[in-house]
Each structure stands twice: as structure tokens, then as C-alpha cells.
Amino acid sequence: MNKQATSNGAAAADAAAVAADIEAQRRYRLAAKSSDPQTMYQAAAWSVHNKLVDAFDKTQEYWKEKDPKHVYYLSAEFLMGRTLTNAVHNLGLEGEYAEALKNLGADMETVRSQELDAALGNGGLGRLAACFLDSMATLDLPGWGYGIRYRYGMFKQAVKDGLQVELPDYWLDAGNPWEIRRPETQFKVGFYGSLDGDKWTPSEEVVAEAYDVPIPGYKTKTCSTLRLWDALPSSELDLAAFNAGDYVKAVELKRKADEITAVLYPNDATEEGKELRLKQQFFFVSASLQDTIARYLEKHSDLSGLAEKATFQMNDTHPTIAVAELMRLLIDVHGMDSNAAWGVTTKALAYTNHTVMPEALEKWPVRVIGKLLPRHMQLIEQINTQWLASIKDHVSAKVAKEQAAKKAEAAAAAVKVAAAAASAAEGKEAAAEEAKAGEEVEEVDLVAEALKAYSIVQENQWNKDEMLVNMAYLAVVGSFAVNGVAAIHSEIIKTDIFPHFVELFPQRFQNKTNGVTLRRWLAYCNPELSALITEALGTDAWVKDATLLAKLKPFAENAEFRKRWRAVKQAKKAELAAHIKDVTGYEVSTNSMFDIHVKRIHEYKRQFMNALSIIHRYSEIKAMSPEERKKVVPRVCVFGGKAASAYYMAKKIVALVLSIAETINNDKEVGDLLKVVFLPNYNVTEAELIIPAAELSQHISTAGTEASGTSNMKFALNGSFIIGTLDGANIEIGENTGFENLFIFGIKAEEINRLREERKDFKDYDPRFIAALDLIKSGAFGRPDYFDDLVASISDMNRGNDWFLLANDFASYMDAQAEVDALYSDQEEWTRRSIIYTASNGFFSSDRTIDQYAREIWNVQPCAQP
Ligand code: 6GP
């Protein structure tokens, strides 16, 4: 990294060649006369594009020749962010491009800031997929991502009159230099229609066309792909309608195709039974499976060995229709018998669960699947019937055992009764009666009843007339491996979500703790800290081997090193402060602690609790004497995150943060002691600026609700402290860093069911909590009516009843915050521990995660060009 490209003649010559190339792109591809930043960005990007195409072709040719096993990562979301910096660095050409742009009168920073984020994802799940692609390529693992080329990505968030507003994200506006259109790679995908026996005739058909987004690995020749599908009409015009003069109907086919890839559903961890969404899911899954099979058949004569050459990793339940579609392709299209097809399918598919939020566990009405994909519904019914038949003995035995236990219990109770009535003869009779009653229960019905808990097709609990397909169950039955994304989460899915399946095949369930790519999330977003780390370690090998970060530990004891570490943090804080000023107009002091809470806005993530703690801090400062105020540790509290457009409470939380920011930041008495900032449109690019500047980051979800979290890893690697609950990957970060270095508070996951039961009578409200709520109600931050429902959701047992247990955790949260302030006052110790964070968390590199997937689930080996 940071190699001085200009320090030798060869590099200078390379820079000259790059400059000539950029010029050629500007002149001929763009036919541009000016060299404004957007033009220069486009020209530079197209020049990088060509290099990626070369690397891509070589890799794919090599893999084709060697025919190694591949993994295909099926995901409805890939949250890629910007590409230019990442590609140039991964290709090892950062010096050459910087120099070339300089020679052309531009500068890298301005040029790179022209790029729009590719935001084809909502949040954690989509960003994880993007990190995984980077690691797969870096580890030379034959693997592709497969997804949808949405024309509108995640909406842009703006603030208007103190509220969130959503704007469309037309990210393809200026063209996309990072993709290669493949008109030669097209597959038909059908919908609706009729079923005659098992013969399906779709009544609507679109063509899926491939676009490849090359994914360069770091310091390797390997360049893999993210293949995204666009939908085209199977013919541009309905000719009959056209000839009859019905032009609107004539273009209907085009409109229907366009609709499929138009928008990313903007919900995080919430789903609705929208037919269009199922259409999207099936569209990309079908095209991806057909594509893989077609390539496989170029080398192999039949599909019986498919699973030896391909694993399909299903990223949550969104691609789960793959279970039925792979069966259909094998049986209907390729003539395999259904048992053999089931054997191949269940050896080829694996499933990752990313959330335990009940509303996100997809359940599609049988009616909807049956209409859109009648053959698939038929296959799902068959799979379910066979599945239930195969476990019947097990379930019968279980029921019999339970019955026997019940009988024994009843008999024991009867003996007691008999003993109590020992003197009377009728006592004995009663005992005998009771014992007998237990035997008369009809066992057959009990088995049928018990089987329901295992069934993929289930009754809708809210509407008895509707049957639903539980997609997670379909995924578990159709996969050879199921995993959660952090140790605690992988346990919770076993005990709370899939206990019946664990009982049948415990070995199918695994954990794969998430990770993040150290390239984007440390090396490139924080070049200053990276340079310092590289200098200390005497090598930049840590960028590819994150375990080397541990060697930083002794440097934590070195005062000179600490001083330089602090200077880097100060510089990153200054950059963020400038950005805050730019975007919000607020001036914040870089002498304050930068306390950051960025992630999707959701009640379970408890941004509201943080807001309440800030209100309390504000009241406290207001009540202090000037002398007391001198002792306050000044803070800048930064929030960022999007609320799903239809998520009522989340939007109120955004509004509350904006309101308290306005009141507090304009209170002269408080000044720099406390500032609150809501940074709109939190996305990958914003995160790259915010995370390096953080000193404290908040991961305060109700224990047991956040599957993993991945920003916690990014913050820790950038030397930020964590204040958080015993939830998701916080726990493993604590184990690696030493829990004494985190600010951990709150209830434990195993307590929440009980506490939710008890909360009806909860009396133990912290007075600070009540006072903060009262202040909101009083109108101190404006519009008290608007916040009424929000306040009620955590304080009124009839209106929400504090489901996420803010009241239970508030006091211990405030204690943890007090510890933060105390430690921050000792800057030497604070810095020492900040270094420990970076040094301790190499484990959270996605290279480690992917290596585990490759060995323990996929059985895919690296295949690097010599
Ligand atoms: C998220 C989880 O909420 C987050 O905790 C985790 O770190 C991330 O996935 C990656 O595993 N889940 C989603 O974004 C989601 O849409 C269906 O789940």
C-alpha cells in the first residue's frame, strides 16, 4: 500500500501510460471536450474498466479450463458503494492513477467524489454480500455473486421541515462504467399460466439478460464477477395489438418486464407479501440456476454431479424459491427422476439466516405462489408431503414418549391422591380412573397435530382460511447446511426458530460469524491509520492477513506511537467535522468526543434510547453551575440511518433526533458541551467518512435481536470504542478485545422473554428516563403531539408496551455512559485501549469468514492463476 509510484522510473512510465489511456477514454469513448470532474471520473473509470475486463477474462478462462468447484452467492441485495478507489487499489494502481490524474490537471479526491453509490441493498445483509465478494476474489475462490440489476437502488434520504423524505435513487443516470452487458447470455423466465398434470405452460415470459460487474481481488490476478440480471420483454411489441392499432397494449410486454427490475424493495428486516417481490426473487433465481446449469453442461454430460461442482448459498430466504426451481429444472427440463433431483438439490443448496425478527421471516401465501408459479407450488406440496412422511416415525416416537411421560406423571399424581384418600376405598378407584383416562387420548391425532410444527405449508395464524409457505422451513429442508451469522445468533436460531429441525439433523446447523473486508473498511477508508499500522508492523501484509494486526499490541504501550495514533484520529475527526458543517450547517468542535450511532433506524436498534440519554445529558448540563460545567466531557452525538418509508415509528425517531439537535445546538448555554447531528442519507460512502472519525460507537439493540451487526467490526478495527449490549457480534468483539475494554450494559438475551412477560407490571422506571420522556411531552423539542405515539410506545402498556425493553436497560446504559466519560478524561489510557481495539479484531476480517464458509460448507478450494 501507499507505494510511492513516482519513486521509480517504471512507475512513472506506467503513470504516463495511464494518463494517455484516460485521455483516450475522454476523447473517444465519451467524445468529451471538457475535463470537468464528472468527465474525468468517467474517463478514469472507463480506463479502469478495461483493465478489469482483461483480468476478468483471464480468470474466467482459467477457471473454465481447470473446472474447479464454484460457489454461487444468491442474493437479492448487494450494497457495493463506490468502485473506483476500491478497484484501483485492488489492482495495485493507486499511485499510477493518482499521478496520471494529477498530470491531467485533476485530482483523485475530486474525481472519486463524482461517483454515485451502487446501493442495491438495504443494509447489513447487502453490505455483507459485497464484503464477501471482495474476500472470495482475494482468496482466489472460484465464486460468483448473482443478483438483480435494479434501476432504482435504495432511496435517497433527505430532510425537509424536520422530517425524512425519500427521493428515488436513479444511480444509472450517468451510465455505469463498472458493468459489462452480455447480450449473448440470456435466459427465458416464465410466470403464471396453467398446469396440466405436472406440465406447466407459463402465460407470461421475460428474458433475463446478464450484466457482469468484475470483482478484482486484492494483490492477486483473480477477478471474479457479480452477475446481475436485467429483464427484457420476450418480444418488444405485441405485434397483433400493434397491428390492430392498440399501441398501449402493444408496449405492455415491455412495461411488465421493466417492472421486475425497476426497484429494490426499501425495507430492512420487514417484508410484505407483495407479488412483485416474489416475481423478482424467482426471476433472478431462475436465471442464475439456468446459467449455472448451462455452463455445467458445457463440460459434463448429465447433471447428476452438479453438486460436486456447484454450491448455491442462499442469502436469507429471498432466494429460497431456488429449492423448487432447481427441482423443476432438473425434472421438467433435464428429465431427471424426482428422487435423484431431490438428492442433487439438497446437496447443492445452503442457507444463511440473517435475522430473528418475526416479520422478516418470509411466508408466502399458497394462493400467491400458486398463481405466479403453479408448478413450483405443486413441487413444494410434494416436497412437503414427502418430508412429513419421512419424519413420521420420528414424530410418532416423540409423541409416544411424551404420552408415556404424561401417563407416568398422571399415575404418580393418582398415587398421591390415593395416598391422601388412603382410608377410603373410593380413593383407589379414583386413582385407577385417572390413570386410565390418560391412555384414551387418540395417538393418531396427536401425531398429525405434532407434525404441523414441522410442516413447510402452514395455516396463517391470523387468518385460518389462508395457507402459507414458510420459506425458512423450505430452505432448511432443501439445504445441506444452515448457518447463523454470529455465535449467539446461531444458537438462537437453533432454540427459537428451528428447534424441530435441530432435533432431526443437528449437524446441519452451523455458525459463521460475519466479517468485513479490511480493504474497504480500514486500508482505503483510513489511509492515514493504515500507513501508521504498516509503518509499525514493517509490512502491509496485514491487509491480506488480518491476524498480523495482533502485533500492534505492544505499540499501545508506546507513548510516541499513541501520540501519532491520536493525531490520525484528530485528522479524521476534522474531516468529518467539515462534512457536518457542509451538510447540516452545524459547527462541531474536534475537541469533543465523537459519539456515533449509524445504522438503519429500527425500534430494536434503539436509537430512541440514545436520544433519551442525550436529553438527559442536556438537562443535566442545563442544571449545572459554571464550575460544574468545566468538568463535563464535551460530546458530538452523530446519528445516521434510513427509516423504511412505511415504518411509522422509525420515521418519528428520525424526527425526534432532528428536533433535539435543533434545540440543543442552538442553546448558547450548552455551547460545545453537547452537539447533536443527524447526517442524512447514510450509505456506504458516508460510512467510509464517519467510521474512521469515531471514538465511541453505539450498538445498543435489545439483547437477542441483532443477528450480528457488522459496523461494530468496522468501528472496532478503526480504533473506536464500543458501547453496547450483549448481542450479536458485540459478544465476540468483547471476547477478542477483552470485555473490560467495551462498555457493556443491559439485560441478557435469555432474560427477555421473562422481562416481556413482567413488563406489564414494570414499576422500576429510572427517574431520568421519566424526566426525559416528560421533556419531550412538554414540547421542549417542538411538536409534542407528533411524538405522542413514540413516547407511548415505550411508556404505555396499552400502546406498544416497550417491547424492546428500553425502560429495563436505561439505568445500566447511563452507568455505562458515565464510565465512558470517566475514561475519556484520561486520554493516554483511552488511546492505549483504542490501539488495543484495532490490534484485537483481525478475526473480523471477511477473509476469515469466507475461508470458513469455503472449508466448512462449500468445499471450494482456491484456484489461482500461476
Ligand atoms: C442483517 C442483520 O440485521 C444484521 O445484524 C447482520 O449483521 C446482517 O444482516 C448481516 O448478517 N439482516 C438484514 O439486513 C436483513 O435484511 C433479512 O435480514
* pLDDT at residue 4, as a whole number: 43
Global confidence as pTM: 0.95
Q: Given the CA of residue 489, which atom of ligand 1 is nearest to it?
A: 5
354 lines ligand 1 (CB under 6 A): yes
Q: Given the CA of residue 128, which atom of ligand 1 is nearest to it?
A: 10
Q: Given the CA of residue 360, which atom of ligand 1 is nearest to it?
A: 17
Asked if 605 is an active-site residue, the reply is: yes
Q: Measured in angstroms, how far is the CA atom of residue 611 from the centroid of ligand 1?
A: 23
Q: Give the torsion sign (CA, 89, 92, 95, 96).
A: negative
| Set of cell numbers at residue 723 | 458501547
Sketch the domain layout of the chain as residue ranges: 1-66+85-112, 391-441, 518-844
CA distance 719 to 562: 12
CA 241 to chain centre: 44
**Do residues 32 and 26 touch, judged by C-beta distance below 8 A?**
yes
Asked if 710 is an active-site residue, the reply is: yes
Tell me which of 485, 600, 714 to substitute to probe ligand 1's pocket, judged by most ligand atoms within 8 Å of the beta carbon: 485
Among 186, 219, 190, 349, smallest CA distance to 279 is for 190
* pLDDT at residue 107, as a whole number: 92
360 lines ligand 1 (CB under 6 A): yes
Q: Measured in angstroms, how far is the CA atom of residue 706 from the centroid of ligand 1?
A: 8
Residue with the smallest CA separation from ligand 1 atom 4 is 709
CA 832 to chain centre: 31
Q: Given the CA of residue 127, which atom of ligand 1 is nearest to it?
A: 10
CA distance 649 to 651: 5
Among 338, 380, 357, smallest CA distance to 471 is for 380
* pLDDT at residue 781, as a whole number: 97
Residue with the smallest CA separation from ligand 1 atom 8 is 124
**Do residues 314 and 74 touch, judged by C-beta distance below 8 A?**
yes
Specify whether the backbone of 63 is left (phi greater than 0), alpha (psi in -120 to 50) or beta: alpha
Q: Measured in angstroms, how far is the CA atom of residue 356 from the centroid of ligand 1?
A: 9
123 lines ligand 1 (CB under 6 A): yes
* pLDDT at residue 7, as a whole number: 47
Tell me which of 264, 317, 318, 355 to substitute to probe ligand 1's pocket, judged by most ligand atoms within 8 Å of the beta carbon: 355
| Set of cell numbers at residue 331 | 425434472
Q: Measured in angstroms, how far is the CA atom of residue 123 from the centroid of ligand 1?
A: 7
CA distance 464 to 371: 20
* pLDDT at residue 441, as a whole number: 53
* pLDDT at residue 418, as a whole number: 77
Q: Measured in angstroms, how far is the CA atom of residue 124 from the centroid of ligand 1?
A: 5
* pLDDT at residue 267, as a whole number: 72
Asked if 188 is an active-site residue, the reply is: no
485 lines ligand 1 (CB under 6 A): yes
Q: Given the CA of residue 514, which atom of ligand 1 is nearest to it?
A: 11
Tell me which of 314, 708, 846 to substitute to probe ligand 1's pocket, judged by most ligand atoms within 8 Å of the beta carbon: 708
124 lines ligand 1 (CB under 6 A): yes
CA distance 565 to 556: 9
* Nearby residues of 558 by Cβ (< 8 Å), 6 or more positions away: none
120: helix, strand or coil: strand
User: Annotated catalytic residue: which of 39, 345, 346, 710?
Assistant: 710
Q: Measured in angstroms, how far is the CA atom of residue 126 from the centroid of ligand 1?
A: 8
**Do residues 232 and 255 touch, judged by C-beta distance below 8 A?**
no
* Tens digit of each residue's pLDDT (9 = 90 or more) over 122-138: 999 999 999 999 999 99
CA distance 97 to 115: 16
Among 714, 79, 597, 706, smallest CA distance to 354 is for 706
Give the residues across from 457 on adjacent strands.
469
* DSSP structure class, residue 27: I
Q: What angle do CA 271, 273, 278 make, to 5 degrees?
A: 95
268 lines ligand 1 (CB under 6 A): yes
* DSSP structure class, residue 516: B
Q: What dihedral do alpha carbons 496, 500, 502, 503 form, nearest 10°? A: 130
269 lines ligand 1 (CB under 6 A): yes
Q: Measured in angstroms, how far is the CA atom of residue 316 from the centroid of ligand 1?
A: 9
CA distances from 659 to 74, 159, 606, 782 (A): 41, 12, 17, 7
Q: Measured in angstroms, how far is the CA atom of residue 487 from the centroid of ligand 1?
A: 14
Q: Measured in angstroms, how far is the CA atom of residue 361 from the centroid of ligand 1?
A: 12
CA distance 265 to 359: 15
Q: Given the CA of residue 706, which atom of ligand 1 is nearest to it?
A: 5
Q: Measured in angstroms, how far is the CA atom of residue 819 from the centroid of ligand 1?
A: 30
* pLDDT at residue 268, as a whole number: 55
CA distance 225 to 223: 7
User: Annotated catalytic residue: which of 26, 127, 376, 600?
Assistant: 600
User: Annotated catalytic residue: which of 508, 512, 599, 652?
Assistant: 599
User: Annotated catalytic residue: which of 51, 112, 616, 714?
Assistant: 714
* pLDDT at residue 1, as a whole number: 40
Residue 200's CB: how many other CB atoms inside 10 A? 19
> CA end-to-end span of the chain, whole Å?
22
Class of domain 518-844: alpha beta
128 lines ligand 1 (CB under 6 A): yes
CA distance 158 to 745: 33
484 lines ligand 1 (CB under 6 A): no
Give the residues across from 208 on adjacent strands.
187, 231
Q: Given the CA of residue 485, which atom of ligand 1 is nearest to it?
A: 11
Q: Given the CA of residue 707, which atom of ligand 1 is nearest to it?
A: 5
CA distance 630 to 540: 43
**Do residues 817 and 825 touch, judged by C-beta distance below 8 A?**
no
131 lines ligand 1 (CB under 6 A): no
Q: Measured in angstroms, how far is the CA atom of residue 707 from the centroid of ligand 1?
A: 6
Q: Measured in angstroms, how far is the CA atom of residue 217 from the centroid of ligand 1?
A: 24
Sheet order of strands, 463-470 included: 363-365, 463-470, 457-460
Asked if 489 is an active-site residue, the reply is: no
* pLDDT at residue 532, as a whole number: 98
User: Annotated catalytic residue: which of 376, 520, 605, 617?
Assistant: 605
Tell me which of 122, 125, 701 to substitute to probe ligand 1's pocket, judged by most ligand atoms within 8 Å of the beta carbon: 125
| Set of cell numbers at residue 840 | 484485537
Q: Given the CA of residue 729, which atom of ligand 1 is nearest to it?
A: 7
| Set of cell numbers at residue 848 | 476469515
| Set of cell numbers at residue 380 | 413444494
Name the stretches of the chain with pLDDT < 70: 1-10, 268-273, 421-444
CA distance 286 to 190: 9
CA distance 169 to 816: 39
**Do residues 244 and 217 touch, judged by C-beta distance below 8 A?**
no
779-793 burial by CB neighbour count: b if 16+ within 10 A, else e? Answer: ebbbeeebbeebbbb
β 180-191/194-196 pair status: unpaired
* pLDDT at residue 433, as a whole number: 60
* pLDDT at residue 415, as a whole number: 83
699 lines ligand 1 (CB under 6 A): no
CA distances from 73 to 226, 318, 480, 610, 724 (A): 9, 12, 15, 36, 31
β 696-699/180-191 pair status: unpaired
316 lines ligand 1 (CB under 6 A): yes
User: Annotated catalytic residue: which of 354, 363, 675, 768?
Assistant: 354
Residue labelled with grid coordinates 443494509: 123
Q: Given the CA of residue 77, which atom of ligand 1 is nearest to it?
A: 16
**Do residues 303 and 344 touch, judged by C-beta distance below 8 A?**
yes
Q: Measured in angstroms, how far is the CA atom of residue 485 from the centroid of ligand 1?
A: 9
Residue with the smallest CA separation from ligand 1 atom 16 is 269
619: helix, strand or coil: helix
Q: Given the CA of residue 710, which atom of ligand 1 is nearest to it?
A: 7
**Do residues 680 and 583 touch, judged by C-beta distance below 8 A?**
yes
Q: Give the torsion sign (CA, 376, 378, 380, 382).
A: negative
**Do residues 489 and 728 touch, judged by C-beta distance below 8 A?**
yes
Q: Given the CA of residue 709, which atom of ligand 1 is nearest to it?
A: 7
Q: Measured in angstroms, how far is the CA atom of residue 315 from the centroid of ligand 1?
A: 10
847 lines ligand 1 (CB under 6 A): no
CA distance 215 to 588: 38
- Cβ-count burial of 239 within 10 angstroms (0-12 exposed, 13-18 middle, 19+ buried)? exposed
680 lines ligand 1 (CB under 6 A): no
Q: Measured in angstroms, how far is the CA atom of residue 748 from the centroid of ligand 1?
A: 20
* pLDDT at residue 761, as a whole number: 80
Largest CA distance in the chain: 110
* Nearby residues of 858 by Cβ (< 8 Å), 6 or more positions away: 69, 71, 311, 313, 350
